[in-house]
Amino acid sequence: MTPLPLPPYTALRRVWPLSELPAALQGPNLARTAHHEAGHAVLLDWAGIAMTGATATVRGGVVSIDFEQAKTDVGNDCIQDYDQPLAAAHLAACWHAGILAELLYTAHPWRGITVRMNSADWSTARMILAPHFGTGMAGHGFAQRTALAVLSERWADVERIAAELIEHGTWNPHAEYSPPE
């Protein structure tokens, strides 16, 4: 897969059009769910957020975050040391990563902000972005394009995690990994 570029900072507040959810991303499907959860895992790793594992079934899945580690990683002294809207967009990319991994897996191009309105991922991304961008669509396009860029660059990792989820139903980020020969 050819890696896509990260969106430029100037696109942070750009409002992108909404895109219809492709039919291929609807209904239960284990392989698609596994790629969805693997997408979250790869973006969380990119963002430096510790995970404890992931699960996937034909009807859904979850990536578990190590909240105790996250609390020790973020100290109050660093809060003013970063661009908060940019950090929010990068964090929201972690929650948008699932649906973007599904787009990549099913070979559907990104045509605008792709949404499952009633999903927990969409609700979490909205909650993260709202304090910096309001309740509209600003920030979501940047976050989704960030997720696309990272996932396209690390697609081999997505495939490896998805294969583990398909075969075993679980993935442990701390398990020994031997790259294929």
**Confidence band of 178 (pLDDT split at 50, 70, 90):** low
Q: Is residue 70 situated within a structural domain?
A: no
Q: Identify the three-state secondary structure at position 52.
A: strand
Q: Is residue 77 situated within a structural domain?
A: no
Nearest in space to 110 (alpha carbons), one of 157, 164, 147: 147
Mean pLDDT score, 163-171? 97
**Residue 163 near residue 113 (C-beta atoms within 8 A):** no
- Domain limits for position 133: 9-59+82-171
Q: Is residue 114 situated within a structural domain?
A: yes
Residue pLDDT, tens place only, 66-80: 766 654 555 555 555
Indicate the number of domains in the chain: 1
Q: Is residue 122 situated within a structural domain?
A: yes
Question: How distant, in Å, are the alpha carbons of 23, 34, 46, 67 from that of 28?
Answer: 12, 11, 28, 29
Q: Is residue 126 situated within a structural domain?
A: yes
Q: Is residue 50 situated within a structural domain?
A: yes
**Confidence band of 32 (pLDDT split at 50, 70, 90):** very high
Provide the angle, in degrees to the nearest 10, between the axes of the packed helices 140-153 and 120-133.
120
Q: Dihedral angle at the C-alpha atoms of 134, 83, 48, 46, nearest 10 degrees?
A: 80
Q: Is residue 108 situated within a structural domain?
A: yes
Calpha distance 171→167 (Å, rounded): 10
In this predicted structure, what is the pLDDT of residue 72? 52
Residue pLDDT, tens place only, 144-165: 999 999 999 999 999 999 999 9
Q: Is residue 65 situated within a structural domain?
A: no
Q: Is the pLDDT of residue 177 over 90?
A: no
